[in-house]
Structure 1
Amino acid sequence: MKKICSVLMGMLLLSLVIPAMAADNGTDVSKLRVDGEGKVKAAPDMATIVLGVETRSTSAAEAAEENAILMNQTINALLDAGINESQMQTSRFSLTTMPQDEPRGADATQEPPTFLATNQVTVRLENTADVGRVLDAAVSAGSNSIQEVKFDLKDPTPQNDEAMTIAIKDAQRKAQVAASAAGLELGKILEITVGYGYVMEASRSYSYAMDATPIQPGEMEVTASVNLVYEIS
């Protein structure tokens, strides 16, 4: 049995374990444990954009007033572009002072503070083809802060199921190879452990958008993993 374990661990990175007495018949049961992985690529079908307006002034009131004007223009531009109010949500609003350098020298005086007003809105799009058009509309209306563009899948269930099917077949193939190499026969499956997880395409960050902003959604990779435990003889 030690020789069998060595072959499996050294050549195939699989594990052959002999547990305690089986509960059903009181006999030793040898087990083979294998891992499988499945991957499926899919084009994203939704996008999330975080954009907004930043304004600065030595007057807090002026910074806030200018910010409100530009943000209202931005929201109106998004509405004109076909974005519904239900697709927009304010995600941040702040009015703070900018960091200042300490005055230097005996005659140096502290400069008056500069106020920074920030207003951000999160926009959720059902069509990734609209991302570039929405960004351009927002920037043209006064938005000067594009914080993030992220892509996702509305419902990854079909891709999850396909990836899991591939993962199980991968584990079954590995089990057959391992058993054949060790001169063993596979029995019934005693245990199945599954896991899902999809890796999103990297998000993008911007400071200022340009004319005809090019956006490439790319692909997302949906992954699934499985662990199978076989009875062997």
Structure 2
Amino acid sequence: MKKFAFLAALMAATAVGAAHAEERRITVSAAGTVLAEPDMATITLGVTNENAQAAAAMKATSDAVSQILARLDQMGIDARDVQTRDLSLSPVWAGRGNQAGERPEISGFSASNRVFVRVRDLTQLGAVMDAVIQDGANDFGGLSFGIQDPKPLEAEARAKAVAEATAKAEQLAQAATVTLGPVQQISEQVGGIRPAAQMREFATADAGGIPVAGGEVSVSVNVTMEFGISQ
């Protein structure tokens, strides 16, 4: 019985020691950000038409989109950079919400076709937007700038984040009068490409096109690092 009690006490002491050892860690988080000029833009554009006849509404929309796609091809936009994102046909109701209690009726139809376009030559961006509007685009769902190959920028941002996290850990160890040990664990989260908070003028429009400024985009990587404590 005494032997059993001794073994139980030894195991408990070992567990406490292991837990204490596991607690001897310094965990820090840091972010690395790199700014760069964009070299690509994406546009979501569309065509919407209404008509009393569903077929007529869809035909008008399809004809305009066909003309837009042909124009984009003429301007050198690769087929892989053009994709239909949404095609819809819905009724247009009349008499909804009236006070007389009359039943709403379908007065026509609305046909819509939305297209995603990637522009890899930013000097064409203003001219492309101007051209598709002339060809019938009447619905723009957004414009965003990006980087075609973000991996080198991500690597630079990752190195900055690791350096910042290591510096933080060293400061904490010095303040706590302990010796910083090796890295025990590291994880990262890539923040993606976003518009920079402070944007710089970057003209992208040709003469006669819609004026557009690309500014800068930021690429961010967040890391969490866990260091051991040597003593």
Q: Give the unaligned 5+ runs of structure 2.
A: 1-14, 197-207
Distance in 2 (alpha carbons) for counterparts of 1:229 and 1:109: 67
Shift of 1:115: 0.9
Compute the displacement of 1:158 (Å): 0.9
Instruction: Work out which of the residue numbers 43, 50, 54 in structure 2 matches 1:49.
Output: 43
Counterpart of 1:105 (choices 100, 104, 124) is 100
Q: How big is the shift at 1:151?
A: 2.1
One-letter identity of the residue aligned with 1:66: A
Alpha-carbon shift at residue 55 of structure 1 (Å):
0.9
Give the Cα separation in 2 of the matches to 1:145 and 1:138.
10
Q: Which residue of 1 aligns with 2:218?
A: 221
Give the distance between the partners of 1:28 and 1:125, measured in 2 at CA.
52
Distance 1:82 1:27, change over 3 A: closer
Partner of 1:157: 151
Q: How far apart are the structure 2 equivalents of 1:20 and 1:134? A: 68
TM-score, structure 2 length as denominator?
0.76
Identity %: 31
| Deviations 1:42-76 (CA, angstroms, capped at 9, x unpaired) | 22222221212111111222212222332222222
SS of 2:209's partner is coil
* Deviation by residue 1:86-145 (Cα, 9 ceiling, x = unmatched): 332222222211233335438x68665121111222212222332211110111112212
- Distance (Å, rounded) in 1 between the aligned partners of 2:140 and 2:21: 66
> Counterpart of 1:114 in 2: which secondary structure?
strand
- The residue that corresponds to 1:126 in the other structure is 120
Instruction: Tell me the residue number matched to 1:74.
Output: 68
Q: Give the distance between the partners of 1:158 and 1:226, measured in 2 at CA.
A: 17
Query: Relative to structure 1, is the Cα distance of residues 112 and 176 closer, same or farther in structure 2, using a 3 angstrom cutoff?
Result: closer
> Residues 15-51 of structure 1, C-alpha deviation per residue, up to 9 Å, x if partnerless?
xxxx96459xx97873222222211112222222121
* Separation of aligned partners in 2, 1:146 and 1:22: 60
Q: Compare the two structures and name the one with the higher helix fraction.
A: 2
Aligned length: 204
Show the counterpart of 1:58: 52
Change (3 A) 1:144 1:172: same
CA contact (8 A) 2:57 2:111 kept: yes
RMSD: 2.8
SS at match of 2:26: strand
Q: What amino acid is the match of 1:135?
A: M
Aligned counterpart, 1:36:
30
- For structure 1, the residue ranges without an aligned partner over 5 or more in a row are 1-18, 203-210
Q: State the TM-score, normalized to the length of structure 1.
A: 0.75
